[in-house]
């Protein structure tokens, strides 16, 4: 089937571009004195709590995290790093919003799906990000987080398309890991320039 809709991630794609998750993870590991595998095992074992609204703030999440990993004394340092990353997330790549507008003008349905808190969703709306999308899904509001297939199916349903009529753009491979199961076309975000080349290759621009 032809592509009828485009889904966008927020962090690392629209906001906070250039501040990679890998870089943040490396800094956290250095603060905690743990390796990448240990960090990811604990983080991905509990990140659903923040992404589905079971807990309301990143400060609360990191308190649970440092306690779980056995480094409660590192809480202040971890939270300071988190707060800097949160500030960077408010810096928007206007080229990406213009791209979303361009795709809408060409007749594509355009949606956003972000794993974030209710507060994160409020900040995006305060920045006017939601005005550029037909569907605006925040995981803590929908209780559906990437890469769970239900999150992408819900996005496709709200956009009025079948999953195999949708591409989804994300900077994290893990978030795209269920693409074969769901049926959407995954696009790993590297840069605005590379993305426009990929969309042109799909005859969308």
* pLDDT of 67: 95
**Which of 16-30, 51-65, 101-115 shows the highest mean pLDDT?**
101-115
What is the rounded distance in angstroms from the CA atom of residue 191 to the CA atom of residue 48? 27
Residues 132-141: tens digit of each pLDDT: 999 999 999 9
Q: What does the pLDDT look like over 1-45, one tens digit per residue? A: 699 999 999 998 999 876 555 578 889 999 999 999 999 899 999
pLDDT band at 86, cuts 50/70/90? confident
Question: Span 183-204, mean pLDDT?
Answer: 94
* 85 pLDDT above the threshold of 90: no
Judge whether residue 66 has pLDDT over 90: yes
Q: Which is more confident, 17 or 164?
A: 164
Average pLDDT, the chain: 92
Q: What is the pLDDT of residue 60?
A: 94
Average pLDDT of the segment spanning 50-71: 93
If phi > 0 it is left, if psi is from -120 to 50 it is alpha, else beta; for residue 135 that is beta
Give the C-alpha separation, 67 to 139, whole Å: 25
What does pTM read for this prediction? 0.88
Segment 45-67 mean pLDDT: 92
Q: How confident is the model at residue 80 (pLDDT cuts 50, 70, 90)?
A: very high
């Amino acid at each position: 089937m032809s592509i009828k809709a485009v889904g966008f991630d927020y962090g690392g794609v629209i906001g906070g571009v250039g501040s990679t998750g890998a870089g943040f993870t490396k800094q956290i590991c250095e603060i905690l004195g743990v390796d990448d595998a240990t960090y990811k095992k604990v983080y991905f074992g509990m990140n659903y709590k923040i992404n589905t609204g079971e807990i309301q703030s990143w400060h609360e999440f990191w308190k649970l995290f440092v306690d779980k990993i056995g480094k409660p004394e590192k809480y202040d340092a971890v939270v300071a790093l988190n707060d800097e990353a949160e500030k960077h997330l408010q810096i928007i790549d206007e080229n990406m919003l213009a791209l979303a507008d361009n795709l809408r003008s060409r007749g594509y349905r355009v949606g956003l799906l972000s794993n974030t808190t209710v507060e994160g969703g409020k900040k995006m709306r305060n920045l006017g990000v939601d005005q550029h999308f037909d569907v605006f899904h925040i995981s803590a509001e929908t209780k559906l987080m990437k890469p769970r297939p239900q999150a992408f199916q819900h996005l496709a349903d709200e956009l009025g398309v079948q999953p195999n009529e949708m591409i989804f753009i994300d900077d994290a491979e893990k978030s795209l890991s269920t693409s074969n199961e769901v049926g959407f076309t995954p696009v790993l975000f590297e840069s605005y320039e590379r993305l426009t080349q990929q969309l042109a290759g799909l005859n969308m621009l």
